[in-house]
Amino acid sequence: MSERDNIYQAPHGKVADFAFDAAVARVFPDMIRRSVPGYAETVAMSGVIAGQYAQANSNLYDLGCSLGAVTLAMRHGVRATNCQIIGIDNSASMLERAEHYLALDDAHVPVHFVCADICNYPLENASVTALNFVLQFIPLEHRLELLKDIAAATLPGGALILSEKLAFDVNEQPVQDALHLDFKRANGYSDLEIAQKRSAIDNVLIPETEDVHIQRLKAAGFSQVIRWYQCFNFASFLAIK
C-alpha cells in the first residue's frame, strides 16, 4: 500500500512547508523508516509498554496517530480487559489509510479513529497515551497545555509515551546532525532530497532538549520520567502518573 518516498527527488524551486497531506500519506511508511533512526523499535516497544501499563476498563490514546502503526502495536500488546484504543489525527488522508491497515489487522481490542485536533479533543479515563514524533509539530506555547490535558486524563499508575527529535548543546549538535545525515544517505536519500526536506520542515518541526522535555512532563503532572530509548537525535520517554 505504501509507495517509495520521492517527494523531494526533483528540484522544487520554492519548497513549501511540510504538511501531512495526501502525497505524504502515500509514502509515509517509507519516509519515516528512512528518516527517523529507531522508528521501528519505538513503534514495537510502544506495544510492549501498552501491555505493561494498560488498565482494565480504560482508554488508550494514540495522538497524532498518522497511519496507525503505534495504534496497532498497542492493540497487540494490551492484556487488560475491556479497553479501547482511540487514534486521533487531523489529516483525513492519513486516517483513510489507517482504516485500511486496521481492516487487515486480526487483533480484537476495539479501535476508533477520529479526525480532530489533538489539542482540542477531550481525553478521559486514559491508562496509556502515545505521543510519538508529534509534540515537535505543536507550537511551543501550546505544548505544556497539551501535556497537562493528557496528565489530567491519565489514571494513577498510567503512562505517556513521548517520542521526539531532540536538540543538543553546541558541542553535541554537530555530531548528532552528521550521524542523522549519514543515516538518511545510507537509506538512499540524495543530498538534494535531504536539503529540500530540511527546507520544508525547518519552520514546522521545532525540537527541544531532553532537559526541557523532562521538566515540562513533570510540570504537567507526571511523577516519574524515564528516557527508555535513543537512537542518534531521536529519543523516547516514559512518563508515569
- Cβ-in-10-Å burial (0-12, 13-18, 19+) of 212 comes to middle
pLDDT of 182 reads 97
Structural domains of the chain, with CATH: 51-165+204-240 (3.40.50.150)
Structure-model confidence comparison of residues 106 and 2, the more confident one: 106
pLDDT of 67 reads 96
Q: Binding site: which residues?
A: 39, 64-66, 89-90, 117-118, 132, 198
pTM (2 d.p.): 0.95
Three cell numbers at 201? Answer: 520542515
Mean predicted lDDT score pLDDT of the chain: 95
Long-range contact pairs involving 28-34 (C-beta distance under 8 Å, separation at least 24): 28/2, 28/66, 28/67, 28/94, 28/97, 29/2, 29/67, 29/69, 30/2, 30/3, 30/4, 30/5, 31/5, 31/7, 32/133, 33/187, 34/5, 34/184, 34/187, 34/188, 34/189
Q: Indicate whether 200 pLDDT > 90.
A: no
Q: How large is the average pLDDT for residues 71-76?
A: 98
List C-alpha distances in Å: 202 to 36, 134, 170, 207, 211: 15, 15, 18, 10, 21
**Least confident stretch, 96-110, 196-210, 224-238:** 196-210
Q: Binding site for S-adenosyl-L-methionine: which residues?
A: 39, 64-66, 89-90, 117-118, 132, 198
